[in-house]
Structure formats: structure tokens, C-alpha cells
Amino acid sequence: MNPNTEPLPPVSGGSLTELRDLLNVTDESWARIVPWLVTGMLPDIPRPLLLLTGGPCSGKSLTARMLAHLLDAGVVPFGRLPHNEDAWQAAQAGAVAVFDNVTRIPDETSDRLCRAVTGGTTVRRPLYTDTPVTVEEPSRAVILAGTIAPDELRADLVDRTVVVELEHITAPRPESALWEAFTEARPRILGALLDLLVVVLGKLPALREMADRGEIPAHRLVDHALVIVALEEAVPSAGA
């Protein structure tokens, strides 16, 4: 748990439309963001990386900040991609890791991001010792924001990534006003997400049985794929 977590009681009766109205996204991008958020609320499963890509003045950083604060009520680490072990550990202190201004991803960093998505183990050698230590790294939600294009990612990372392309904002609103509106609406948005999560959780057991029988196409991130199927069934009745 993030030690800097703030109280964030959800409020019932909200709508995800309040979030949609604050974001610079198309219908297609919105249809990718909602499943990503719902999957991010499920514990102990691989969560796809979210790539927010676009040119200048497209709202990448603010979008990343808003989405992260729906999954983690604490102080979300927000900075450049780490280049050493200590920086990686600091970036993974919360439920969500956000990396901004991403223009390229070295192979070693790509490997680390893949492990962050699916979870895994890392062997480390503590300072002044000769004994390696195996450390479990649980899956966590990761957001990348930057100008990097999907075709610049390695294939194994692409398979673990939800891509949202943001377009140039021709008449931008002040970021402070958008953040104030988001902060005021966040309890209602969170309540709407939790209402949707309850519906999805009710559908997942049957969908997992269908996946076991091969009735749902195989996917590297099968849990996220099942969330998408559940939402396709649930959204009309859930009013999301």
C-alpha cells in the first residue's frame, strides 16, 4: 500500500461521462481506457501497460496523471524512465508507476517494463555481500506518456500494451482548471468505476470457464481480454 495514501471515499450515482469530458480522447481510445482502468482495479493479475502517445499539446501528461489518481489515491511516482535499480524501486512504490516524456525505450528497460506488467522475480546482490537475493516483483499498473510510437516498441512489449493516441488540442483549457474539475469529480468517477467493477466481477467466473474450454480466443493477457468481453456485455446495462 502507498504510505502516502489520501482518503478517497467513492460516491455512488456518478458517471464515467465526467471523466470522458475531461480527456482528449476519441471513442476508440475511450473504449481502451475504460477496460484498462477496470483491469487495474483487479488484484494479482497481469495488467497491460498503457501508452499515451501524441505530439505536443495533446494532453498526455495530464491524462496520465488523472488515470493514475483513479487507481492510487496516494502520491503517484511521476518522472522519466529509471536508469538504475534504486530509481526503479522508487518508481514502483505505489500501485501505479507513471513515466513521462518517453521518446525511446532501451532493451533492458523494455525487459523491466514487461516484468512490471506480468510480475516476476529479479535476482539482486545486496551491497557489500556475495549472496544473491531473489526478489518478487508483483504486477502493477504502468503508464507511459510520450512521443514514442507503437512501432518503436519491441514486439514482446507491444503484446502487453494498450495504445491510446492523443490528437493535438486546438483550443486547450488551463491545466489547473481541468485538474480542479477532476479533483472535484473524482469521488463520483471512482464510484462509477467501482459500480462497473462489480458487474464485471459477476461475469468473470463464467467467462474464465469459457476461456478454459477454448471458447474465447487466446491472448497473452487473458484476464484483461476477459474484462473487455465482460464490459462489452455489461456496459449497456451498467449505463457507463
Strands (E), the chain: 49-53, 78-79, 96-102, 120-124, 133-137, 141-146, 161-165
This prediction's pTM: 0.86
- 76 or 211: whose pLDDT is higher? 211
In a domain, 18, yes or no: no
CA distance 195 to 13: 9
In a domain, 115, yes or no: yes
Identify the band that residue 3 occupies on the pLDDT scale cut at 50, 70 and 90: low
Identify the band that residue 8 occupies on the pLDDT scale cut at 50, 70 and 90: low
Q: Provide the number of structural domains found in the chain.
A: 1
Helix, strand, coil % (nearest 5) of the chain? 45, 15, 40
Q: Evaluate the CA torsion angle 37, 28, 200, 157 in order and state its sign.
A: negative
Residue-level pLDDT at 88: 77
Residue-level pLDDT at 43: 84
In a domain, 90, yes or no: yes
In a domain, 13, yes or no: no
Domain span holding position 113: 30-168+175-235
In a domain, 5, yes or no: no
pLDDT at 196 over 70: yes
CATH number of residue 229's parent domain: 3.40.50.300
As a whole number, the mean pLDDT across the chain is 85
Phi, psi torsion values for 83, nearest 5 degrees: -125, 5
In this structure, what DSSP letter does residue 153 have? Answer: S
pLDDT at 238 over 60: no
Identify the band that residue 31 occupies on the pLDDT scale cut at 50, 70 and 90: very high
DSSP bridge partners of 188: none
In a domain, 193, yes or no: yes
Task: For 49-71, write each residue's pLDDT tens digit.
Answer: 999 999 999 999 999 999 999 99
In a domain, 93, yes or no: yes
